[in-house]
Chain A
Amino acid sequence: MIKLNNLVATYTTERGQVNAVDGINIALPSGKIIGIAGESGCGKSTLLKVIYGDLIYPLALTSGNVEYGFTGDRGTEVTTRDIKEYWFRRISYIPQASMSSLNPVIRIRRQFVDFQGNVVDEAKILAEVREYVRSLDLPAEAIDAYPHQLSGGMRQRIMVAMGTFFKPDIILADEPTTALDVVVQKSILMLLMDIQEQMENTILFVSHDMGVHYQLTHKMLIMYAAKVVEFGDSEDVFSTSLHPYTKMLTDSLPTIGDDHIREGVSGRPPSLWDELVGCRFAARCPLATEICRQQEPALLEHKPGHFSACHHADQV
């Protein structure tokens, strides 16, 4: 169980402070693939940063903390305070494929060992790395190459290999397949699913692509304007959604054989700079009533394990 306890994360800018994550309070089950979806700027990536513990200026955690659900080297439960010590051993991160996350001028095998502290026996670790890389359908020699000698898909496989080599409890993946073509994208997603099945770690998977979420995830977390609006089993969220925003997101997905013109979600999310009263989605919501504009809905468990922050969850 990863507990997000009342998280508020703030960016300090020249205009002032803005809360990109504004009061998230939820417990995520361990050993599942959890998809995080929402529009650009809704706080998905910020939430990942907060969970990873990468809190550097201008981002700061104004309140709350994360309890990771595993005990650390000192026998106490790991929280936001000491998560940095477990980076890549217990919690790892797979970046976007479009970002060139490999140093172009040093060999990949160097980049595999330069974060492992005082490597006593480099040859032994490299042999293990080679073995592991081969198990991920990559030639073992790939780690002797420089990044520019590999294809985009191979590079992303290397990133997956780095992120999973230590069998971490939690893996954060921030749009890991965005810049890849669909065939390669599928193979990377299958790889992630296989790894998760074997190691039973928790994967937090951020993507814009609702289709990918549908295929990959066990649980879905929908964010809107720095808040969680819905959380539950993926199947329930996609088929019997309890929030009008999720409904609009999934309705915009095309299905084969259906040639109706798809409607996107009209309107724009509110600016986080404004003072927000009531439900943040109210202005775009077809179900909005007076109560929505005045009172902020709480994230409630409407059905077992299915949470929604909507006054009219029963009407969706």
Chain B
Amino acid sequence: MGLIQYIVSRVGAYLIVLFVGVTITFFLPRLMPSDPIEGYIAQMQNQAGQSMNPETIEELRTSMRKLYGLEGSIVDQYVDYIKRVFISFDFGPSLASYPKPVSEFIFTALPWTLGLLGTALVVSWLIGNIIGLVAGFYHNSRWATLLEIFGVILYPIPYYILALVLILLFAYIWPIFPLSTTILPGPITWEKINSIIYNSFLPALTLVLAGFGWNILGMKALSFANKEEGYVTFARLKGTPSRTIMFSYVFRNSILPQITALALSIGGVFNGALLTEILFSYPGLGLLMRTAIGSGDFNLLYGTIIMSIVSVATAALIIDLVYPLLDPRIRFR
């Protein structure tokens, strides 16, 4: 019963987050003093030397409002918008590459972001936690201190600095990786997979290294504290082998807060991924978002923002739903 309650509450929170996020992306641009259509008309009038007659302008205004989904009262627009986004996943046409729909751009870019982010997140979380566990469990040894120093150095470096350093080192001074991402079009072959891995290596390394430090420090502190728990002492006095104590006792208990921390940090990592993509010209959501801003493509921008909200919230939901598998106190409340 407790488990069902837990799942329902998490899914409920997920839906609320999505709804609020989508609502904010609807209202925020409408709070701006400028009107994109009036701006566009003014621009056209300037080009035409103020020679357009009022009827033509009115016609233009109506057809553009229809096109942009700006007809009717703000409530009508909102209801229409929610329906389009949640039911048909339609963000309207791209303004810069009219009439290609925004969703098409997004679905081309999304797998790249998810692939890069997912791989980097899993790798940095797993390796960071294992290093942290070893550093915390053997906190008396010199190696543990060395590992911790490694974490302390890595963790405050922002993504973009790390990305620039890696580009400078491994794409310019010692050019073993490409400066920017170029991926061949065409069907999936081994050659293409290799090229994707080769091109994604540096951006993934950036994300792994930048996420790493915090995982090491967090896990080190947790496992160090966990070592002092009564059950660890008792396991030692029972004569439980050290390796069993490390994994079944210290790791299994310390990993729980780290799972929560992962869910909380996913938003930040996503931000980092967007910046990293821009720096490496990696064809994901981040680059798409930057293109949208650069070309004033509002529909595309809102589409990518909503997609970001959906990705982060979904990832956090998945982590939340995995949690009870590792913590029996939630499974059998």
Contact = CB atoms under 8 A, between A and B. Distances in A.
Interface stretch (A7-15, A92-100, A189-197, A215-223): A92-100
A100 B230 contact: yes
A110 B327 CA distance: 16
Contacts of A111: 235
Given A114-B240, A115-B240, A100 B231 contact: yes
A104 B237 contact: no
Given A95-B230, A99-B230, A103-B231, A54 B237 contact: yes
Nearest to B326: A105
A105 B237 contact: no
B244 interface: yes
B235 A115 contact: yes
Interface residues of B, number: 22
Contacts of A93: 234, 237
A84 interface: yes
A146 B231 contact: no
Contact of A106 (B230, B241, B252): B252
A88 interface: yes
B71 interface: no
A115 B238 contact: yes
B329 A104 contact: yes
A101 B234 contact: yes
Interface string A142-156: 000010110000000
Contacts of B326: 105
B253 A103 contact: yes
A105 B239 contact: no
A110 B248 contact: yes
Contacts of A115: 235, 238-241
Interface string B35-65: 0000000000000000000000000000000
Contacts of A107: 328
A250 to B, nearest CB: 32
Interface in B312-333: 326-329, 332
A146 B252 contact: no
Interface string B91-110: 00000000000000000000
B80 interface: no
A138 interface: no
B249 interface: yes
Given A88-B238, A99-B230, A100-B230, 20 more contacts: A84-B239, A87-B238, A95-B237, A101-B230, A101-B234, A102-B234, A103-B231, A104-B231, A104-B328, A105-B256, A105-B326, A105-B328, A106-B248, A106-B252, A114-B235, A114-B241, A115-B241, A148-B329, A148-B332, A162-B238
11 contacts: A84-B239, A87-B239, A88-B239, A99-B230, A99-B234, A100-B231, A101-B234, A102-B234, A105-B252, A114-B235, A115-B235
Interface of A: 52, 54, 84, 87-88, 93, 95, 99-107, 110-111, 114-115, 146, 148-149, 162
Interface of B: 229-231, 233-235, 237-241, 244, 248-249, 252-253, 256, 326-329, 332
Pairs A-B, 8 closest by C-beta atoms: A99-B230, A115-B238, A101-B234, A87-B239, A146-B328, A115-B240, A103-B231, A101-B230
